[in-house]
Amino acid sequence: MLSVGLFAALSAGGDALRSAWRAGLAESWQVHGCDFASGLVFVDGRCQRAADVVSPPELLDASAAGFAFGVATSAYQVEGGVREGGRGPSIWDTFSHTPGRIPSGDTGDVACDHFHRFEEDFALLAALGVSTYRMSIAWPRVMPDGRAINREGLRFYHALFDRLLELGIEPLVTLYHWDLPQALEDEGGWRNKSMIVPAFSRYAAAMFTEFGPKVKVWTTFNEPATFVFIASDLGIHAPGRCSHREICAEGDSLREPLLIAHSVLVAHAHAVAALREQSGAGGTCERCRVGMVNCIKLAAPMNASRDADWQAAQWRMESELGIWTDPLYFGDYPRSVVLASGDLLPPFSAEERSLLKGSADYFGLNLYTAQFAAARFSRPNAADMGVMATSSAELNGEEGDLIAQWRETTGAAAGPREPVGEPGPTGWLFAAPGALRTTLNWVAQRYGQRTEVIVTEAGWAGMRESSELPLRIALDDQDRIAFLFEYVRAAVQARVVDGVNVSGFVIWSLLDNFEWNNGFGQRFGLVRVQYDDGLRRLPKASFSWLQRLISNATAQHTGARALLRRTAQRADQSTSAQARTLRASTAMLGALALGTTVAAAALSVRRAARRRAVAMGVADGVGVAEWSDGDEQLARGLLPMCDGTDDPLERMRHSGAD
């Protein structure tokens, strides 16, 4: 029976989620009663201003060495220049110019004018000190009709990549961030698998060939769950298809999303195969790596003492995240998704499964917030299917199907004292840093502890950034600093404490930008864009905070390297027993990691040298004395003090949820 099979499929996963969830809740699920809106975070047992603390303490641990920081944008959201440089129209050009689609009437025609001002924006990147810039290529700029190459578009991106590399910043490049050429949509878009898979594969191969010598880290798709389900289930993203005839002229919310999901995954597999043909020695994309970026609102059980709610939460994780990531690591969909979807989800062929399995060199995770999940056992309706259908899609009498029994709330509370997180101004975004740590643990448990994870997006729409406010208030985004502090800390905790292979943290976004169906109304940038004043760029307080965070980390890394070199030189110049002790200690230091803090390096070597000297029968203190007072002062002196949509239908759907 289907319900029994689905229960069995979710039970083990629910147990794993329980373990990951405990890790995330250990210290950081909530904000400890600190005044989040004022930028306060919980450090050393008390509430302190994140802007004053600067670095989460965990970032000083040796295990955090090499942790990379970056910021992100995407082509349609910042570039503008939609009719320049030979660019063709995209589905977002069409959608944003359709009356009523963007309530504010905003479009991406100009956006932040990054097309003309990228030098200015890259100067901001350099000032920040980030090592990574995540961006996307606009498919219609390089292939206006989705097929033929536009050399002028290629020259634009060559100029971007050249400048980034001159600044020592690595581009992390997305091939598809939702701006499908309109010409391909006119042929059926992602619904037409036989057309779109080879079209995307040719596009990907051309980009790898053209830019492979300059771009070494690639993403095939950004957040397919968003552009598939919000666009073709709710119909409020381009191309705007759904079963709600008051919203969409055409579409099928029940069937189209899963057909599109299948096409996207197969297109990813073929694109990765094209890259790997070029990534070997001597290839045009030598040593290139590729992955997919996925998003999730962590599902937390509404009632943590109820097994069914754990299974409901696991269903959310598998149906919204695992549906995309299981194929990349295991070659097929989660069993729960297959059981629940029936014939709505096309199966992979043997060749497709082979291409998909192992098709991600890293796991890209976008996480902003969390929601509660609860099991519901009553007459089903399509609204209960979450991403699998909407209130306008009929279940056709499948009353016993468990897919209809999972119901999530938007996180107002599981109880009067259990908020999902600190509420923001958007209606969907709650600050829940423990959700990030929990999800990172979930990923490691499901796909292996060695799986590299990059937090490719996390960000905050400020509470006090309205255009009506005085500029000095709008730029003082202490709430964003607190959000980023806590989320960076959660990611580093997952790395340092839990052993998850988290390699970096990318902030959304460098600039305020066009936030899709919300237009310019939500501001996520570290830099304010004055839309009514010539698009002036004004760095916010969070920009300065991130500068200091990265500067501190860089100083620690550089100082540790210098200390390690001096230690090795002293050891090489001596043949004494003390020097042999010091050499052993130096080797131990190197094993810890070059990026450790100078203080941690000095103290580790001093303590190890003392222990080894005693063990060798050398007088206590011999060997340690070779450390100068200057080294000690240097060591002490350098110690510093991962989208959503505000959808009214979704809000109505979940109002009164129990």
Annotated catalytic residues are 223, 457
Q: How many CB atoms lie within 10 A of CB 28?
A: 24
Give Cα 304 to chain centroid, integer Å.
27
Instruction: Tell me if 208 sits within 8 A of 278, measured CB to CB.
Output: yes
Q: How many CB atoms lie within 10 A of CB 110?
A: 17
For helices 541-572 and 577-592, angle between their N-to-C axes, nearest 10 degrees: 150
Q: What are phi and psi of 254, to 5 degrees?
A: -80, -40
CA distance 567 to 648: 63
Residue type, 48: Q
* DSSP string of 80-147, one letter each residue: --TTSTTPPPBHHHHHHTSTTSSTT---SSSTT-HHHHHHHHHHHHHHHT-SEEEEE--HHHHSTTSS
User: Any long-range contacts for 566-570 (C-beta under 8 Å, 24+ apart)?
Assistant: 566/631, 567/605, 570/626
Residues whose CB is less than 8 angstroms from the CB of residue 429 and which lie 6 or more positions away in sequence, other chains included: 368, 369, 423, 460, 461, 644
Instruction: Tell me if 190 sits within 8 A of 263, measured CB to CB.
Output: yes
CA distance 510 to 524: 8
User: Any long-range contacts for 564-572 (C-beta under 8 Å, 24+ apart)?
Assistant: 564/589, 564/590, 564/594, 564/601, 566/631, 567/605, 570/626
